[in-house]
């Protein structure tokens, strides 16, 4: 694997955005946009901002990225976030998984120094207990049903080391206001009711599916209030911080650490 350690943050974003870079090679623009609504430099600026939140959280927890033995990009898509870690995580120590077979294949082709596998919509995975120092996702928990959400939290707890860092994103409250405009709702969304339920600390999920393998039984649009997170997640994780949307990241970012149950 090439050595990328000498690049500054700004230079690194430029490298990651370069369509002519041999490794990591960018997929076609239409593939990029299908997953994150943007491509090229705009896609990588957002990815890097999320990566920087993760990097800072790990450093603040006394577990810097370069000290980690294994990292998992859950719902890796085309590997947009994964490639940001090439400066920090040695070859073979970063893993990615996704339910969509063709993007797993794409990641293997464009980022061959990391490990990518296909997972099912619900756990378990094939990973051993206490495998990972860090598990992160961008815009995955912002789509999962409550049953899938809880199942994956349980699985993360199983495959993470005690004290490991978990970073996930979810839609903010105001995103609920645009749900009637989504094509699969037919406008039949009672926004005021959902906003009240959100404020009451309820898990808000609108089934819709995402086409192909992204079925309605686990996939749609999701907004998770802080009250829910602090009530449910703290059964297995310690909440370190919830970061509000920023200049390029339009979701809340949840930072937690695994606690031992014994």
Which contiguous run of DSSP H or E holds residue 220?
A: strand 220-223
Helices marked H in the chain = 9-17, 29-36, 40-60, 101-110, 146-159, 191-199, 226-232
Q: What is the C-alpha separation between 36 and 43, in angstroms, rounded?
A: 7
**Number of domain units in the chain:** 1
Task: Give the model's pLDDT for residue 25.
Answer: 86
Task: Give the model's pLDDT for residue 2.
Answer: 73
Cβ contacts of 240 within 8 Å, gap of 6 or more: 57, 60, 61, 255, 256, 257
15 part of a folded domain: yes
Q: What is the CATH number of the domain that holds 204?
A: 3.40.50.150
86 part of a folded domain: yes
204 part of a folded domain: yes
187 part of a folded domain: yes
234 part of a folded domain: yes
Q: What is the C-alpha separation between 236 and 258, in angstroms, rounded?
A: 6
Torsion angle in degrees (nearest 10) through CA of 54, 58, 59, 65: -90
pLDDT digits (tens, 9 = 90+) for 28-70: 999 999 999 999 999 999 999 999 999 999 999 999 999 999 9
4 part of a folded domain: no
137 part of a folded domain: yes
Supply the range of the domain harboring residue 198. Answer: 9-258
Share of the chain above pLDDT 90, in %: 84
Q: What is the C-alpha separation between 157 and 20, in angstroms, rounded?
A: 39
pLDDT digits (tens, 9 = 90+) for 187-199: 677 899 999 999 9
The pLDDT confidence band at residue 160, using thresholds 50, 70 and 90, is: very high
The pLDDT confidence band at residue 153, using thresholds 50, 70 and 90, is: very high
């Amino acid at each position: 694997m090439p050595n990328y350690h000498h690049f500054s943050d700004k230079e690194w974003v430029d490298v990651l955005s370069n369509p002519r870079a041999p490794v990591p090679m960018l997929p076609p623009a239409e593939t990029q946009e299908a997953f994150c609504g943007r491509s090229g430099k705009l896609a990588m600026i957002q990815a890097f901002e999320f990566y920087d939140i993760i990097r800072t959280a790990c450093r603040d927890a006394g577990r810097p990225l370069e000290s980690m033995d294994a990292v998992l990009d859950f719902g890796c898509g085309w590997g947009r976030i994964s490639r940001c870690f090439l400066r920090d995580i040695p070859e073979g120590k970063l893993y990615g998984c996704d339910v969509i077979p063709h993007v797993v294949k794409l990641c293997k082709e464009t980022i061959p120094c990391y490990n990518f596998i296909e997972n099912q919509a619900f756990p378990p995975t094939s990973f051993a207990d206490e495998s990972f120092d860090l598990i992160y996702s961008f815009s995955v928990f912002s789509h999962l049903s409550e049953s899938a959400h809880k199942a994956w939290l349980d699985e993360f707890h199983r495959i993470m080391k005690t004290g490991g860092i978990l970073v996930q994103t979810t839609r903010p409250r105001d995103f609920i206001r645009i749900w009637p405009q989504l094509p699969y709702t037919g406008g039949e969304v009672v926004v005021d009711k959902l906003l009240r339920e959100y404020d009451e600390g309820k898990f808000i999920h609108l089934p819709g599916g995402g086409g192909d393998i992204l079925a309605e039984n686990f996939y749609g649009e999701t907004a998770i209030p802080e009250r829910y997170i602090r009530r449910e997640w703290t059964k297995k994780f310690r909440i370190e911080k919830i970061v509000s949307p920023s200049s390029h990241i339009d979701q809340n970012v949840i930072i937690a650490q695994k606690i031992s149950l014994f």
